[in-house]
Amino acid sequence: MVLDDLGSSLRGTLDKLRGKSRLSEEDIEEIVKEIQRSLLSADVDVSLVMELSDNIKERSLEEEPPAGTPARDFVLSIVYEELVALIGESTELPLEEQTILLAGLQGSGKTTSAAKMAWWFSTKGLRPAVIQTDTFRPGAYDQAKEMTQRAEVDFYGNPDAEDPVEIARKGLEETSEADVHIVDTAGRHALEDDLIDEIEQIEGVVEPDTSLLVLDAAIGQGAKDQAQQFDESIGIDGVVITKLDGTAKGGGALTAVDQTDSSIAFLGTGEEVQDIERFEPDGFISRLLGMGDLGQLTERVERAMQQTEMDEEDWEPEDMLQGQFTLNDMQKQMEAMNNMGPLDQVMDMIPGFGGGIKDQLPDDAMDVTQERMRTFSVIMDSMTDAEKEYPKAIGANQIERIARGSGTEEEKVRELLQQYKMMEKTIKQFQGMGSEQEMQRMMK
């Protein structure tokens, strides 16, 4: 994904600085070189790379870290702020009546993005319509029709008409019941004058509130010229970066954002109508730098809690703090973990846990952990309620029976009991700390 490489290489460099309270000029030089190398190899425009790295260097050398802040964290915060400043806020798209015009070269993903965006707006309670004005690309009409059907949104197009400007005009009339109009336009292989003329005319008729440039994440240096031309002719307010699920580097798209002085509106991450994300700069860059994405993490935890029905009356996390920690508690915890999704994704969202620590784990460590949780869960299903409530009373005979019942080995049952003991000990430590309120806050 965009700048994926930046995250891991930068973390490597920064980790070498762990424990240092002051950074030398050479340290900073090394960090800046690493940033430059990553950005350039991700196809970010050279002048942009220079500007960004100069800012980071200047600030790291001149600004004083706040008292008690390790030098490494201080530099990381500067890199973060500069990247946020470069990428900027997400393109503003109020959840109200509006018209959006999509521009871009053929194959960039306009038609797909139009349907995806319409789907996205529909999940926000609005009524979107897609208007297909591409008379140039054979198949554009059918594709748009089919995708908007899947997205369950309104659609207008006319495969027999020849004048895209007329289709746009008619489309707006025919879909007047919709709140959000998304107008898809034709692309060409390269920027030809007639494409520019055509889109300018469509823009005149449609009078969009927002014009978005759709860019394939694989676009490299060409992004700059393209962005400039579209910006001059219709004015670009934001960028949609598509195909981020591939191996694309995405740096060109960042260049385009800078070139048009715009921002990123959406990210496309697949071929299905639901494969779209609204761009959130803070979370995106934090994840990239291995600083965690607390917003996303909180959302996942809440979802997982709901799925596990943790907040049902019969099980309250707080109970663990008051009385005995039982195997039932442990099972609930594991289910919640499972519901949060793949562990490695979750780890990326935990501040200080993504990247750095994760990179040091063997590749399959995460799978093993998840596999282990599944085995534990199967074993617990073969236990009686009494055994789960008083695991300490489980003896050799019971271990043998539980192993047989769950189709696992006795060794695994012992492992589970060992894990339980460790967790119980940790919980006891919590219980011995501070006020109850404080403990509950920590547990949450």
Question: Could you tell me how many residues make up the chain?
Answer: 444
- Strand partners for 103: 213
- Burial code (b: 16+ CB inside 10 Å, e: under 16) for 123-161 equals eeebebbbbbbbbeeeebbebbbebbeebebbbbbbeee
Per-residue tokens: 235: 């004015």
268 lies in the site for ligand GDP, by CB under 6 A? yes
> How many angstroms separate the most distant Cα atoms in the chain?
83
Scanning residues 183 to 222, which ones bind ligand GDP (CB under 6 A)?
Answer: 187
281 lies in the site for ligand GDP, by CB under 6 A? no
What's the min distance (Å) between Cβ of 214 and ligand GDP?
6
The answer on whether 186 is annotated among ligand-binding residues is: yes
Q: How far is CA 297 from CA 289, 300, 308, 340, 436, in A?
A: 16, 5, 16, 9, 25
The answer on whether 187 is annotated among ligand-binding residues is: yes
The answer on whether 108 is annotated among ligand-binding residues is: yes
133 lies in the site for ligand GDP, by CB under 6 A? no
Binding mask 86-125 for ligand GDP (x = CB under 6 A): ------------------x-xxxxxxx-------------
317 lies in the site for ligand GDP, by CB under 6 A? no
What's the min distance (Å) between Cβ of 1 and ligand GDP?
12
| Closest chain position to ligand GDP (CB) | 268
Of the ranges 73-81, 237-245, 410-418, 419-427, which one interacts with ligand GDP (CB under 6 A)? 237-245
Number of residues that bind ligand GDP (CB under 6 A): 20
The answer on whether 11 is annotated among ligand-binding residues is: no
Residue 361 CA to residue 379 CA, distance in Å, equals 26
271 lies in the site for ligand GDP, by CB under 6 A? yes
Of the ranges 160-168, 243-251, 326-334, 387-395, which one interacts with ligand GDP (CB under 6 A)? 243-251
Per-residue tokens: 329: 């508690």
* Helix (H) / strand (E) containing 268: strand 263-268
The answer on whether 275 is annotated among ligand-binding residues is: no
In 88-163, where does DSSP find H-type helix? 110-123, 140-151
Query: Is the Cβ–Cβ distance between 187 and 108 less than 8 Å?
Result: yes
- Strand partners for 266: 240, 278
Binding site for ligand GDP (CB under 6 A): 104, 106-112, 137, 143, 187, 242-243, 245-246, 268-271, 275
